[in-house]
Every structure is written in structure tokens, then in C-alpha cells.
Structure 1
Amino acid sequence: MPLFRPVLSLFYLLPIIFLPSFCSAADPYASYEFRVSYITASPLGVPQKVIAVNGNFPGPPINVTTNYNVAVNVWNDLDENLLMTWSGIQMRRNSWHDGVLGTNCPIPPKWNWTYQFQVKDQIGSFFYFPSINFQKASGGFGPFVINNRDIIPIPFAQPEGDIFIMIGDWFTRDHAALRADLSAGKELGIPDGVLINGKGPYQYNATLVPAGIQYETIRVHPGKTYRLRVHNVGISTSLNFRIQSHNMLLAETEGHYTVMQNYTDFDIHVGQSYSFLVTMDQNASTDYYVVASARFVNESLWQKVTGVAILQYSNSKGPATGPLPDPPNDFYDKERSMNQARSVRQNVSASGARPNPQGSFHYGQINVTQTYLLKSEPLVTINKTTRATFNGISFIPPKTPIRLADQHKVKGAYKLDFPDRPLNRTPRADISIIDAAYKGFIEVIFQNNDSIIHSVHLDGYSFFVVGMGYGDWSEDLRGSYNKWDAITRSTSQVYPGAWTAVLISLDNVGVWNLRAENLDRWYLGQETYLRIVNPEENGKTEMAAPSNVLYCGALQSLQKEQHHGNANSIFKGHSKLFITLLMALLNVAFLHS
């Protein structure tokens, strides 16, 4: 049996087992119940308030297959509003369930709300997390896997199993304290450590790591190959991931298979997800270190910002000892990390969610319809507060979600005036979004003139990462673009003093968040939205607002008192059959007990 395979209770399995047998829809359903609450935990040896999902930190995995319809009923047991978002999941025609403030009203405390969406034409490794109030800094995240359909083979031998690894920087101050610091214009400072699967570091060094900290142990069998799905769920720190004495064969990133290449270490930036195939081919005389350490910082000051887990063979003869495997030594090689990023290329001969090869989409031959140059600079002061900007605009979340405002003709809810170039004017705070043309093919250049590395992310889409380089972008640099096998993904790094160029085919109608994935920059306003509307909308390119839509802002008066439901509301109309099947299964279970 594969290690770390998610186990669903009988309650969770029933919808997955029964619904396809009587649902008129062609594609199966999977339903989940998520209770988001506070627990007390001590991942770095200090008791603190942590956000758990179903009592677990990190939360349980969502594990489905291409084209599944997914219902996740989220119960908000926090003391403040909540939204959950699904990083990298491309909700076709359905931004209503994206889970960010521009698309959804938040779930009030003691309320629940069911997200319903289809993971159409997708495969790969993703994760979910809370998107507002800086809550991600206290947890609430978990893995989200979309498997290939049986008729679509994966482009490598079936691994022994999946291993989920969630890495990220961590503070012992909770999210409320951290956001209060940011709101007061303070820097967050050096994180207190790095967690691996919600646990602190193994005591590899008694000076840096106190005794008694619980660490993650990954148990494996010798000679077997595992698929490690690694996610950087942290706040703002890029991490270098490596496994002592083991090679990591890169296979997939954020829903797209890659040209398979071996790496001894790999930089994973905030919000990014990767799959590595790792064969357990080493001597089992000892355990091995699994390391995630801070990058692009002063290593002498940031020594404690290192996560360490243990890889343990089933026939291991002793604990891991000695120094950690060395981090990248690129003090004199400024482009090492960038060259590594450029080496991640699309496997154009592999099939993904559909039978046809992904390489059949010749993106390099499509004419660009519009170019946006989004410049980020160091933090600025706007109205006596510290803010982050794109093109001199610091985004203010709308009080009424954008498409809901459209539907109800709410005036002044937002402005369609986001500039396609940086403007020579005083920075301002505004609700300014991009009026993006449906079926356009746009070029977006992220120019990072800040002093820190940025991650940028687009909801609802994957984009082609066609180029990156140091200095200021100019039109003549288009000649350096990769127009054949650029990797397709939803999150990319932008190095300080550098640019990253992406191409996006605007075929998914809705309102989609474009943001800095660095949580501090996002919280301080470094985001906007793409509003993509089909002028000939006939009900086929965009779904209508869901029946359970929440109202807020200018539409607050439309909100009715909530009657609590659950994810199994998708069984509406089949309740008698479902109860009959449930009783039959319970009788079978009783007879065999």
C-alpha cells in the first residue's frame, strides 16, 4: 500500500461512491466537510493559536480525479470572517467559487458555505488556504491533488505512493499580531523558523534547535520510488528544498508535466508546487535529512529559518547525524537560481487531462492582443499608511464582489481603469481592475524593482512563463522568449531587479485575482483583478451566480438568515435513494462486524 495516501471516513466516501450511480451529470462528484477552527499547537516549541481544518494542521488532502465535480462545505468556527481559495485550480466559467474578496463575500463566524466547482481538464499538485485577514500565516492550508483519469497514462512509471510535503516560513506570533504589525507600518522581521508538514525542525544542531520539538518523519521502503508533492505555503520566504544523498527527478508543476530532469536541490518560491520522483536507492545505515532553508537572505542571520524533517527507510539502522547537506553556493553566480527556473520546461509529448498532446497548442504562433507591464517597487506611504503597489496603485478590496456588483448594477463598486504601463504620478489606493478582452491573448511583464524576490499568481488560469532576466524589460527582449516548450503554471517568481514575462489566453470568463503571493505584499495591496466578460454571453461561457451566494457591501440587505447545510446538499432530489443505499451499507457493515 502507498504511504501517506489520504483516508476518507465512511461519511466522506458515501458521496463519492453513490452519486455517479444516480446523478444525471456525466462526471462524478466528491464532497468534503471542512471545519475551520483554532487549536493550540507548539510547532516551534512555543504554544500558539493555529488554524486547523477538521482539527488537523495542516488540513486533510482533497484527492480527486480530472473532471470531478467538487463540493467543499466550509464551516467557519473562527472569530472573524473567512474565505478559502484553491491555488491553481482553474474553475472553468465559475469565478463565483474562487474564494477571494473580489469574487466572494466572506463567510461570517458560525456560518458555513459550500464551494462547488469542477476540476475540468486538470491534473496535478495544488493546495488550498484561507485568503483573507492574513490567516494563512496561522495555517488553514492543505494539499489538493487531481489525478489522471484511467484512460490517460502518466508519463512515468506509477510510483509506490504520494508523499505530501508542505514547507513554509513560520512566526510564533499569530496572524492577528502579524497583520497588526503590517497595518502599523512595521516590517515582519526574520521568521522564527520553517515548518515541514506543520512541524518544527529535527534537532540537527543543539544550539539552533531546542530539544523537545516534534519533527516530521517520512517513512519509506528501500528501492521504491515515491512522488513527493512539495508546496511552499509560507508567508514570504523562498526556500531551497533538498534531500540528503538523494536525487530529485522533477516531473510536474502546478498541473503540467515537465521535461524530467534530476536536481540535487531546488528553489521553491512562495505559492509554488512541484512533484519530484525520488527513488530510495541509498544505504540504510542511517536516516537522511530533508531540508527546506531560506534563500536570498543573509544566511548567518537566518540560520534558524531552516526546516528539517527525517527520511527514514523501513530497514534504517540509526538516526541521521552530522551537518545538513549544503545549501546552494551562488554568492558569485547571480543567475544560478534563474537558470534553474529557466530549465523547467514543458513535456510537450505528454498528455495531461485530455487525450491530445499538450504540445498541440502552439502558443508561440498566436498574435498578442495587448501587453501589460506591471511594475512593483519598494513599499510606499499612501494616506499615512504603508502600502504595496502595482503600477503605483495599491488595491483596496471591493465591499461588493465585482461580478455580483455587475449583476445587480451596483454603481461605483470598482473602476475599469488599471493602467497597462507604470504612470509617472503619485501612488494612490484604489479599486482599479483590468478590463481584459474575452478571447484575447495577452502578454504580462512583471517588473520587480523591489529589493525582495516576489511570487506572482493568477487565479483561474495557467500562463506560459516565456522569459525572465535581470534589468529592465524592453521590447527587444521578446527575441529571448521561449516560444516552444515554456512551462505552463499559475505562480512564478520575479527576482529583485529583474523581470518575468508570461503569456495568457483569456478563454475563462469571470473575474480573476492577479496578485503578489508574498502574503505581506498582498495584504498591503499588491493585487488587482482581470474582469473577463463575453459580450455575447448566452449562459454557456459563464455560470450564473450560485443559489447559495452570500451578499455583502451594497447588497447586504439581500442576505437572508442562513439555514445550515452541508456538502451533501448536492444529493438534492435523490435523498430517498441515498438514504436507502446508506441504510443498506450500514446493515452490511453491521453484519460483518
Structure 2
Amino acid sequence: MVFCRFSSIALLSFLHIALLSALCFAGDPYVYSELHFSYITVSPLRVPQRVIAINGKFPGPLINVTTNNNLLVNVWNELDEDLLITWPGVQMRRNSWQDGVLGTNCPIPSKWNWTYQFQVKDQIGSYFYFPSLGFQRASGGFGPFVINNRNDIPIPFAQPDGDIVILIGDWFTQTHTALRTTLDGGKNLGMPDGVLINGKGPYRYNTSLVPEGIEYETINVDPGKIYRIRVHNVGTSTSLNFRIQNHNLRLVETEGFYTIQSNYTQFDIHVGQSYSFLVSMDQNASTDYYIVASARFVNESLWERVTGVAVLHYSNSKGPAFGPLPDPPNDFYDKEASMNQARSVRQNTSASGARPNPQGSFRYGSINITDTYMLKVLPPTLINGHVRAAINGISFVKPEIPFRLADQRKLRGVYKLDFPSKPLNRPPVMDRSLINATYGGFTEIILHNNDTTIQSFHMDGYSFFVVGMGYGEWSENYRGTYNKWDGISRCTIQVFPEAWTAILVSLDNTGAWNLRTENLDRWYLGQETYLRIVNPEENGDTEMAPPDNVLYCGPLESLQTPQPHSSGVHSFGVNLKCYMMMMLALFTAIFISS
């Protein structure tokens, strides 16, 4: 996909595609995207507010690629503060330099642009991208990211008649800077002002709960057809239940892996998670139908107004949707209903993905565990006079310089490699402590949530096997209950309050990779760390070198070459060799045209 504003940029983009695909990434196709991040004013909940748009749109555009494509994503920061874009779930093999969080990239300064360069190697699936700094995702800046199968690798279901993306998330009418101020003042964010669906407020299903004049999302479909609907929870901190009135949701994929196909009438999607469903348009068209995203595990009467509602519109529909919304899940008599639903998500071990799969499941259950980490979170607490969140008693201090860049430049004292493998019996501290992970190890991580809200945990650079979850304290006896055959492989998993989730991960991707909560309030307050994974026999083949356009900051700021960023003059920030090739092609094109 190519996103351009000016004819000159369009020409350069064309030359990028024609030339870089042939010369810079020899062999694999190339995709170029241009993303301008700027502020616009919209009123999704009838209150005018400043949001972060991409190419003038909120939410941002779809990035649609295919397995093994090489991407150059030129990000223009037209905000009034630093910017970084991260690509959760996109496993940049040996290339954490492009991951887009503070431990891997220096920020893109205001009015600058920078080009991400990475390959979606051996991947398929549904993801989304977003800004990782300073709570910015709470103001937007997110968009969907789809990696398709290659043509010679079949999908494990009939080709759908259409592909639909739905972004759901809780929403505040305050800006991300105001929300930051609230957290810095030691206060909770409180109840959000609503839930948006594709950046729009609720359909007026109830005149007392929903004021008139709100623009809502309409999904247009044809009767008798089957659509793949990719749903992403891009919100701040609220788990949401997704459902479509009178329609079944057949789960087929989550975060890059095909699932055993199961039908659901409703499905819980936690912060940062992505799912694909097949939905048959098999209802009569006497009316439209509700699409609903409602808050979970809250006081439902108090939170009733915090409900996202869109409309599913058949092309031959005879009238608008009406009546009450489809019922939310009832957990009163079944406290483990949502957990059991999560346990039911299993991997399709016979399906191909990025590669053919003649051998069946990867036999992760027979691999010996080399390291175990028990990572426990508690409610936020005071540390040095500030309300902070922590993992194992360590509240992470944001880095001033990317960790692998510090290693390359032999800087000392930037971080510590002493993150505890289990909670310590001591008061919590603020520190910059990393996990000294074993390259090639097969690691067990127990995520234990003693906070009062559901937490979603995410690991950059990897997918992990979800092998168990339960309420209470984890013990070694639970290993006997692990799913050792078809546990789903994914990159973001929920951990219920006063409960645990066990994951297994093969640490074969060198770099510095962020492990964090996706709940923005807890992440902002320090609930994260990094896995530093270095091959002790490094010979230059297991980790990429810093890119030619690497940014410098913190103690290396003096090394940064100023970027021309006055009006109309921008640097593409691309690989120098590719840039020279591009210029050669430009002169060639001018010569031919003359």
C-alpha cells in the first residue's frame, strides 16, 4: 500500500517500490506506506476533542501485506511531542531496532520523520499498530495491520466473501495529556466516557442513554455471504464483550495462529487482543442488527451508558435495528465462564500458516523447561512519594536510550540485568532492571495478577504458548494440568484478578524485547520490563546491526545529525544504500522522460 500527499512524494514512493524491491531486499516483495500522525478535532461522543489521526483519518488506515513482505513505513510526526509507533505481534526476526518502544528506538522528534524497515518473516494474522509513548494511544493513532497467507498456502476455511476490520475500545473525552496528568497526580482514571467502534460513538438504541446527534458505524453486508471479521480491542484499560445480534461468531484465528473453529454467541476481548471470526449473514432482512461492545467485570447498571453499538446493515434490509441489545454474559452462577471461554481457544494443529504444515503440531509439550519466572503484579502503590505500578516489586523507569544501542556503544550503567525471577520480600522500588534471558532457552512464565482489575500481558518479538490459567495461587502441581498439545500460540493474554496464567516461550529471537501490560494506565505507571536476549556465540548472523538511519538520544544525542524539517522539506530517513539507489533511479527516470 502507498499513502502519499504530494506528487513528488508519489514519484519517490513509486521509485521506492520499483527499485527497493529489486535491489534492497532482493527476492521478497516490498510494500511502502507513508503515515502522517497529526491532530484533528472530532466528536465521537458529541464532545469536540483533539485526537491523533493518521493521514487525516481516525482511526488510521489498514496496512495490508503478505507473508515475507518487506516493509518501509515512513512515519511523519506532526504532533507537538515525541512519537514512536509499535507493531505488537509483528515478530521482527533479529531486528528489535524497529520495535518502536523506548527500549529499542529513540523517539521521533516533533516535525521529524523516520522510516521503519522490517520484514514480516514467516507470519500471518490480525494485528494493529499504535503509538507507544506517553499514553498517546488513548487519543488515537492506531490502525489495523493484516498479514495474509501467500497464495500457495491455503487458509483452513473457505475463502470468505469479504474482510471487515472492527476496532473497539473504551474512550475518554479528555486528551491523553490530561489523562497523564491525572495519573501523575496519583488518581485513577475512573469510568470511561464511552466505547467507540471504528472511532465512532453508539447507535441510539436507547433515547435516555444515548443522546441524539452521535455518528455511529454501519457495517454493510450482503445476505447469504460469509465475512471474516477481525476485531481488535485498542482501548485504554477495559475488557469488552463483543457480540452481533442473532449472529454466531465462528472463531478462526487470533494474533497470527489459526484456532480450532468454535461457535460463540458472544466473546470477551481484552485490552490489546485481536481475534478473527467468520460470520454468516444468514438472518432475514426485516431489520438491521446491533453490533455491541460492552464493558466486562464492572457494575453493569452503572456502566450501562459505556457501551459501543454499531449497526450491521444487510443490503436488502427493510428497517432499522430496534429493541433491547442482545444480552451480555451472565456470570452470576458461573464465575469461571470467561476463563473457560479463554481455555476453549485452542490451536488448529493441522492448519498451515506462514509455511506448509505437513508435520502437525509443534511438540512444545515435550521440550524441557530451562528457566521459570513468576511475575506478580499488585495494585499501584506509593514509591518515593509517587503512585506507581510494578512487577515483582520493580516499577520500571523509562530508558533514556535504547538498550541494544547502549550495548553497541559500550555505555555503562544504562540498565541492570538483575530482574528477579520471583517476587521479593521487600518494599517496591523504581529501577531499570531487565530479564537476562537465556538465548535458546525454553522458558516458563507465570503471570500472577493480585491487582483488582483484569490485566493483559504482551511480549514483543515473540508468540508464546498459553498452557494454563486458574484462580488462586499458582503452584508446581499445576504443571500437571498444562495443555501440552494444542495450547494457542499468541502474543497477548489476559490474567484475571487473583488468578494466574502460564505461558511457555522459546527464546530464539535475539534483541531487547518489551514485556508489559497492555492496560495503558498500569503500563504508564511502570508495569513493564524487557528481555535482553543475546547469543553468547554471536558472529553477526543472529542479530541485525543498527539501521543506517538509527536515531540517537540521551547520552548519545550529540551523535544525531540534524534533520531538515522546515515546511516542505523532510528526510525520508531510509537506508543509505537504498537511498542512493533511489536517487540513481530518479535521475534515470528523468533522463528517460526527457
| TM-score class, shorter | over 0.9
What code does the residue aligned with 1:573 have?
Answer: M
Change (3 A) 1:579 1:530: same
Which residue is equivalent to 1:73? Answer: 74
Is 1:133–2:141 an aligned residue pair? Answer: no
Alignment of 1:278-357 (within 5 A): 278-357=279-358
Give the corresponding residue for 2:149: 148
Q: 1:82-122: CA deviations, max 9, x gaps?
A: 11000111000000010001111111101111111000000
Q: Which moved more, 1:34-43 or 1:10-19?
A: 10-19
1:428 maps to a residue whose letter is V
**2:187: which partner in 1?**
186
Percent identity of paired positions between Structure 1 and Structure 2: 71
Name the residue aligned to 1:573. Answer: 581
Paired with 2:427 and 2:182, the residues of 1 have a C-alpha distance of 25
Secondary structure of the 1:259 match is strand
Residues in 1 aligned to 2:476 and 2:328: alpha-carbon distance in whole angstroms: 36
Query: Which has the larger displacement, 564-573 or 93-102?
Result: 564-573
Question: Within 5 Å, which residues of 2 pair with 1:25-44?
Answer: 25-44=26-45
User: Could you tell me which amino acid in structure 1 is paired with residue 189 of structure 2?
Assistant: L
CA drift at 1:573: 1.2
Deviation string 1:382-407 (CA, Å, 9 cap, x unpaired) is 01100001001100011121101111
Corresponding residue of 2:490: 489
Separation (CA, whole Å) in 1 of partners of 2:61 and 2:531: 31
Letter of the structure 1 residue corresponding to residue 517 of structure 2 = A
CA distance in 2, matches of 1:17, 1:402: 35
1:350–1:358 contact (8 Å) kept in structure 2: no
Q: Does 1:424 align with 2:425?
A: yes
Separation in 1, partners of 2:155, 2:47: 43
Q: CA deviation at 1:356?
A: 2.7
Cα distance in 2 for residues equivalent to 1:566 and 1:98:
18
Question: SS at the partner of 2:581?
Answer: coil
Secondary structure in structure 2 of the residue aligned to 1:573: helix
Conserved in 1, the CA contact under 8 Å of 2:361 and 2:485?
A: no
Post-superposition CA distance 1:325-351 (Å, at most 9, x none): 000011221100000000000000000
The aligned runs of 1:398-547 (5 Å cut-off) are 398-547=399-548
Per the TM alignment, residue 18 of structure 1 is displaced from its structure 2 partner at its CA by 6.1
* Matching residue of 1:272: 273
SS of the aligned residue for 2:328 comes to coil
Using the TM superposition, give the Cα deviation of residue 557 of structure 1 relative to its aligned residue in structure 2, in angstroms. 1.2
Contact map agreement 2:470 2:499 (CA 8 A) in 1: yes
Q: In structure 1, how many angstroms separate the alpha carbons of the residues matched to 2:20 and 2:473?
A: 54
- Count of matched residue pairs: 581
Q: Which amino acid aligns with 2:249?
A: M
Alignment-derived partner of residue 590 in structure 1: none
Q: Is the 8 A contact 1:462 1:488 kept in 2?
A: yes
Change (3 A) 1:372 1:176: same
| RMSD between superposed Cα atoms in Å | 1.8
In the other structure, the counterpart of 2:260 is 259
> CA contact under 8 A between 1:395 and 1:431: conserved in structure 2?
yes
Partner residue in 1 for 2:178: 177
Q: CA deviation at 1:539?
A: 1.2
Verify the 8 A CA contact 1:31 1:567 in the aligned structure 2.
no
Structure 2: segments with no counterpart, 5+ residues: 565-569
Structure 1 residue 56 displacement after superposition: 0.5
In 2, Cα distance between equivalents of 1:514 and 1:465: 15
Residue in 1 that maps onto 2:218: 217
Task: Give the direction of change, closer, same or farther, for the CA distance of 1:288–1:568 in structure 2 (3 Å limit).
Answer: farther
Matched, 1:245 2:246: yes
1:195 and 2:196 are equivalent in the alignment = yes
Partner of 1:437, secondary structure, is coil
TM-score (normalizing by structure 1): 0.95
Partner Cα distance (1:168, 1:229) in 2? 14
Give the SS at the match of 1:87: coil
- Unaligned 5+ runs, structure 1: 1-5, 588-593
Correspondence 1:72-151 to 2 at 5 A:
72-151=73-152
